[in-house]
Structure 1
Amino acid sequence: MKTRLILFMAAVAATATITAACKKASSTDNTTTTTTTTIGAGVPDVYKKIYGATSITIEGNYVVIKATSLPDHKSPYYQGTQWSNKYEAYNGTNSAWNQNPNTIAESDCTYKIPLNPTVASTHATTPLGPMGVAINGVPIFNQYAAGGAALTGEINSFDQYDGHPQQQGQYHYHAEPYYLTANKGKDALIGFLLDGFPVYGPTENGKTISNSDLDTYHGHFAVTADYPSGIYHYHTTAAAPYINGSGFYGTAGTISY
């Protein structure tokens, strides 16, 4: 009996739980939404910034991130859902904005990404669908619309925080997630792609990054606040391809639903 008790206590000690309270987007609403994230033993501190995950654990040489894909900010796409208290009419700057017919639904995703990312010998193309995860648990998509078309028309359905849901209701970002860069900073970590390399906002060392500053995969090697020895990382930019260019720089992990 004593042995079982000791083993149980050790298992509890190996797992920490953190709670991140996120202020809702409306400046007139002082309520908060709360996500409780279970953090497993050995998870590096940088991954603990993914406050929108339900759990983050280590499995061998991989970090496993589980999330529901629900944005922690308000959106016009919450209208008519069970989270209708998070509805907010479009108040962005796009005069051509046109709401798509979809509404936000919960979409459980498990991201398995390399713990120690390395450059790939063959650079795989990014998928249509999640190619990474933002720190609030929302999927990151590539620069293409359904069927591999350009985002030219679809971009007009992005809400004021630069996201929208697809047909099954999975909310996602194709470009800079304005809610995160407004609250965390334009130079902040905003997520990870499936190859394990981090994604940062559109500025670095006080400079706005443009496509010409980045390689064909939409990244470069530099020191960041999270990686003082430097690391290859992606940046969001104002122009296409927005987050990723010609595929993953590193060897991608997997995503499952």
Structure 2
Amino acid sequence: MKKNQFTKDLFLAIITLIIFSCSSSEGQEDTTDTTTTTNYDISSILPKFDNIDAVSYSVSGNTISFTTTDLPNHTSPYWDASHPLYEAYNGTNSNWNQNPNSIGEQNITFTMTLNPEEATTKSATPLGPIGISRNGIVFFNQYAGPNNQALTNEINSFDQWLGHPAGTQYHYHIEPSYLTDQFGKDAFLGLLSDGFPVYGPEENGTTVTNADLDDYHGHTSVTADFPDGIYHYHITNEDPYLNGNGFFGTAGTITR
């Protein structure tokens, strides 16, 4: 009789333990952190800005500051006629029409992060400088000022290297052919103010189209400079050319 009672008590104890264990595990929250963080570092491409008279840079912690005179290291009809780099227009645009402006020295500083990351809230690019190319010339967005007009007419004033001045501020809106001729269509061309790189119109031997890119005119993939992959912009041969709906990352500061 005692043996039977002991067996019953043991059975009840086991059932109670099982029920308690199940109810406890069901009530617990899974605290496993499945979040992955992408840690980009653009330090490796900084030497590509070396040996360019127009631009200098300094690093402080995880921030870099570029200062540029914005003077191109190539020919243009927008140089003063007495300048050694003056060259009459010899490009392929049969509708070319020189604007009344000329190239002049600037003092523009970009301060941006060395560790760019996607912004939670994206911001539109402004008129004026939005980034810096590897030869120190500033990038402008896909609009002509002052009212965010399409570049349709303004393109006819781009020189043989596809840049032109606004006032005295020389800049690129579209592919800087001087750089892609020198370094290749798939080359690193510069940085936007959010710290993300800009590449040419080809990748892995294939021409990049707008359909290959996101709303900000970029994507994430391996590049020659970033073998582990990085988000980057591409310049394409159709509007919006360099940037779409704004900066993918958080823009730094631009002073001039």
TM-score, normalization: structure 2?
Answer: 0.81
* Cα distance in structure 2, aligned partners of 1:97 and 1:211: 26
- Greater RCO structure (CA 8 Å; 6+ sep): 2
Contact 2:133/2:139 (8 A) holds in 1:
yes
When structure 1 is superposed on structure 2, of 51-60 and 68-77 the one drifting more is 51-60
* Cα distance in structure 1, aligned partners of 2:56 and 2:178: 22
Match of 2:30?
none
Matched residue type, 2:205: G
When structure 1 is superposed on structure 2, of 54-63 and 84-93 the one drifting more is 54-63
Match of 1:108?
107
* SS of the residue 2:46 aligns to: helix
Could you tell me the percent identity over the aligned residues? 57
* SS of the residue 2:59 aligns to: strand
Large movers: runs of 4+ above 6 Å: none
Does 2:76 correspond to 1:75?
yes
Does 2:156 correspond to 1:156?
yes
Report deviation, 1:74.
0.3
- In structure 1, list runs of 5 or more residues that go unmatched: 1-42
Report deviation, 1:59.
2.3
Report deviation, 1:62.
1.1
* Larger-Rg structure: 2
Equivalent pairs counted in the alignment come to: 212
Report deviation, 1:160.
0.6
* Cα distance in structure 2, aligned partners of 1:117 and 1:44: 11
* SS of the residue 2:120 aligns to: coil
* Cα distance in structure 2, aligned partners of 1:207 and 1:98: 32
* SS of the residue 2:57 aligns to: strand
Matched residue type, 1:122: T
Match of 2:20?
none
Deviations along 1:49-100, one digit per CA (max 9) or x if unpaired, are: 024353211123211111110000000000346xx11001111111000000
Does 2:109 correspond to 1:96?
no
TM-score, normalization: structure 1?
Answer: 0.80
Match of 1:61?
62
Match of 2:142?
143
* Cα distance in structure 2, aligned partners of 1:218 and 1:44: 23
Report deviation, 1:47.
1.2
Match of 1:20?
none
User: For the aligned residues, what is the CA RMSD?
Assistant: 1.2
* Cα distance in structure 2, aligned partners of 1:156 and 1:171: 15
Report deviation, 1:256.
0.8
* SS of the residue 1:183 aligns to: helix
* Cα distance in structure 1, aligned partners of 2:218 and 2:56: 28
* SS of the residue 2:247 aligns to: coil
- In structure 2, list runs of 5 or more residues that go unmatched: 1-41
